[in-house]
Amino acid sequence: MRNIRLLIEYDGTRFFGWQRQNDTRTVQGEVEAAAERTFQVATPVIGAGRTDRGVHALGYVCNFRVDTGLTTDRIHSALQFHLPEDIVVKEVVEAPLDFHSRFDAIARRYVYRFTTEPTAVMRHVFQPSRYRLDVAAMNRAAGVLVGEHDFTSFTPAVNDVSPVCTVAHARVDREGPLVTITVEANRFLHNMVRIIAGTLLEIGRGRFEPERMSAILGKRDRTAAGPTAPPRGLVLVEVRYPDSPGGP
């Protein structure tokens, strides 16, 4: 038995998220179907975490255990042959048997991208904004998120999972009409990045003052934050592990 680790990229436009669901098209479902065709046996795939319907990924990590003598190069080519064009396998490596793509992850990095000019070619991956955005104000507010905080205000979910996350990096950059929000944390709550993006948009367009971000965090109330930004602007860029370049 071997543990195979994949690095994949996918365009989330036509997927109902990562997680397998009945009668809907998901990334996990497509990868498991490709693995079953490759190895001729049902092959459950473990993912680094959920992504919402319409969210994209450049560096998603997943793994599965299988009894096979195929080389990683052969596994790579076979999986890609059986996968649709909106999923690309970027890397296949053999991992230790105890590797778990979700539980072993130490950080995840997302970007959310707005464009202040209309775009036809990139319309599936940039969220249009008709407002002129004050990136300096957005950056000041984003800095408030760095550190360990209760992010209840940035999720609609109410459950027993801890709402405390540690954000290592939060920044807003502009390149021409493109405004990019980058957030890296040890973990994320449901819709957390999209609500952060929606809140920063309100700050960028002048509806909220940057100083309001501290109050939003402190209230621990979803109604205190801005709207949930649409999924198409969100991309999971990287999942990091202790063996990633740079280490923990």
Q: Which of 11, 23, 52, 67 is catalytic?
A: 52
The single-letter DSSP state of residue 232 is G
Lookup: tokens for 70: 């195929």
Q: Of 246, 248, 144, nearest to 196 (Cα)?
A: 144
Q: Of 99, 129, 125, nearest to 243 (Cα)?
A: 99
Q: Is 150 a catalytic residue?
A: no
Using CA atoms, how far residue 169 sits from 37, 52, 126, 132, in Å, is 40, 22, 21, 24
Using CA atoms, how far residue 176 sits from 14, 94, 168, 183, 242, in Å, is 28, 41, 26, 20, 36
Q: Of 221, 217, 225, nearest to 150 (Cα)?
A: 217
- Cβ distance 89 to 53 under 8 Å? no
Report how far residue 68's alpha carbon sits from residue 21's, in angstroms, rounded to the nearest whole number.
Answer: 27
Neighbours of 167 (CB within 10 A): 23
Using CA atoms, how far residue 145 sits from 136, 154, 169, in Å, is 15, 11, 8
The SS3 assignment for 75 reads helix
User: What residues are annotated to the active site?
Assistant: 52
